Structure 1
Amino acid sequence: MSATASEASGVAARRYHFYPRASRDGRSWVLAGYLLLAATLGLWPAELPLWARWVQGGILVGLGLLAWRHRGPLPARPFSLTEAGQGRWLDSDSDFALSPASRLLPRMALLRWHQDGQRGWHWCHRDSFERADWHRLCRLVLRAQRGDSTVGPGSAAGSG
């Protein structure tokens, strides 16, 4: 965004860079998901034909291999964001736009993005960021969610 366009729209073109560390919380959530999937195999009927037992075993082995693959902290992807929700992946120099469907959850943020007609998501975990960077990211996600023109004191005056 050019300086003129940012002044005309009233939105600062300041870009914030985020260099998250590998996340242990993220790994814990992934492993918990695999355990939940494995636990659902116990909901299958007790009297299964032999081929269905082999399918169960294959699923368990597959889940075990996936869990083994995620045994270390999840890697982090560096990115930058503007106040207007325009972002850039710093590892690939590709641009994206933050979607209003992005969400904040306790200790994590779901960044929903779209880029060149494609949509995707990226999980960010609190333990990957310094405190100030985490709060800045949360503020930018809330701004994208709400479509706020300003963030700060008095910005909630027009909301619900």
Structure 2
Amino acid sequence: MSANPQSVSPQVEKVTEMIHQYAESVGLTREQVFNSEKKTWRWRIGSAYIDIFIQTIRFENGTSRDYLRIFSALMQIPANDLLKFYRHLLELNDSKLGVKLTIMPNSNWVYATYERDIRGMDYHELATCIADLEYWADLLDDDLKNTFPNWSN
């Protein structure tokens, strides 16, 4: 499995344009939020930064799937009482629908993350996914820091 896209599918082009359209619908410009070299979008909602990209996963049999990935760094993993912290994250995963809390490999950060195969995705669904992640990221970054105020590294 590889994450390096070699060509852009029509569906990726369509979703790329829909992300631009969403950003413009909330008062942002492509120039403000889109990094054309990295093919990523980034903006701030409240206290949270929102990062978006489309990842193509290629399989050994020659097929591939394209995923919309939306995420936001919430806080660093605390240095102590990890069991209590991780339990709290799992409980949040159960109650905060549409978003999952993740830790990327070799990272010391907790992320609010949303992922979906872009096949069949329309603008309404894309806008809902981004808006939901924006809402939860802005709420959860503050909530986690307030719940564990002395735990940040």
How high is the TM-score relative to the length of structure 1? 0.24
| Structure with greater strand percent | 2
